Amino acid sequence: MNKIKAGIIGGAGYTGGEMLRILVNHPNVEIAFVNSTSNAGNLISDVHTDLIGDTDLKFVSDISQNIDVLFLCVGHGDAKKFLAANPIDEQIKIIDLSQDFRLHANAHFSTADSGLKNKDFVYGLPELNREAIKTAANIANPGCFATCIQLGLLPLAAKGLIKSEVHINATTGSTGAGQSLSATSHFSWRNNNLSIYKAFDHQHLNEIGESLLQLQPALDQALNFIPQRGDFTRGILAAMYTESDLTLEEAQTIYEEYYSEHPFTHVSRKNIDLKQVVNTNKALVHVEKHGNKLFVISIIDNLLKGASGQAVQNMNLMFGLEEKAGLSLKGIGF
């Protein structure tokens, strides 16, 4: 088959770099262009220096419409601005990694002024919406915290078994804050440090809530989410618990059956740790029972299953490719 022609907007950042690292070696993809206005004319390998010897592509400032799929690796709020300023032909599939189109209220984007059709976005969590993703024209890629937490809760919601409030503590690596420097991303502040931010009102709660309601429409229990900044580069570990009448064996069976047809999410009956998933598109979930509390741990790499890897997984589904194509990535192990 002819290779899929892919364009990348925002190729100099963390998610753009991860997208390049995957697509350079994807057997079914040709990178048509990588857009970065601040780096136009520079070799990609001058910015992402680990790609020396892997590609001779340069960043460009223009945008070609001669592509099959466009990845928007831009900041929150910037995807809408980009599409408003740069109407994209309707035959081009769009996969947006920002939060601009994730919520139901924002999933419709009007391009009426350009003469092109309006764009509707499907929420791109394969473990929730795989069949809809296969026929989607445009995808809103989920957030990293949202992905990790949802994978820990979807099997319960699918059975209508979230019957009391859920308590969630999740810690993310420094790459989750993006490449731009801020007071809380400098090495001297982040190193040997731990902090909490946006307690109880993190923006990813909205998309988590919509997904759980999709599976359990009568859900009316609170999600109490405490996000933390961790002293490490990449990965998210989410630990959550809720009251449950399930036995441990019943819970493990529910989780294993839910994820049995999903190639990247695996249920481990042994405790899990971040190094098992860092640099991979895998998610691992572990379930324990403590008295009347069901305790769930889920882990992902925030830049891969939480961003660029999941975007490529969605692309594979949209184009009828093998779901794992280009994503058999090597973990670090130690």
What is the Cα gyration radius of the chain? 20
**Please, which residues have CB within 8 angstroms of residue 181's CB and are 6 or more apart in sequence?**
none
Cα torsion at 43, 44, 49, 51 (round to 10°)?
-120
Backbone angles phi, psi at 238, to 5 degrees: -115, 125
Based on the residue annotation, tell me whether 148 is a catalytic residue of this protein: no
Order of strands across the sheet that contains 293-300? 195-196, 223-229, 166-172, 236-243, 293-300, 283-290, 265-268
Q: Which residues pair with residue 69 across a beta bridge?
A: 6, 93
Distance of CA 38 to the CA centre of its chain: 25
Nearest to 143 by CA among 79, 208, 80, 197: 208
Local structure of residue 105 (DSSP, 8 states)? G
Q: How remote is the C-alpha of 247 from its chain's centroid? A: 31
Give Cα 226 distance to the centre of its chain: 19
DSSP alpha helices (H): ranges in 2-77?
14-23, 44-47
In angstroms, the CA 117 to CA 225 distance is 38
Do residues 283 and 148 make contact, with C-beta atoms less than 8 angstroms apart? yes
Options 23, 44, 51, 144, the catalytic residue: 144
Q: Catalytic residue numbers?
A: 144
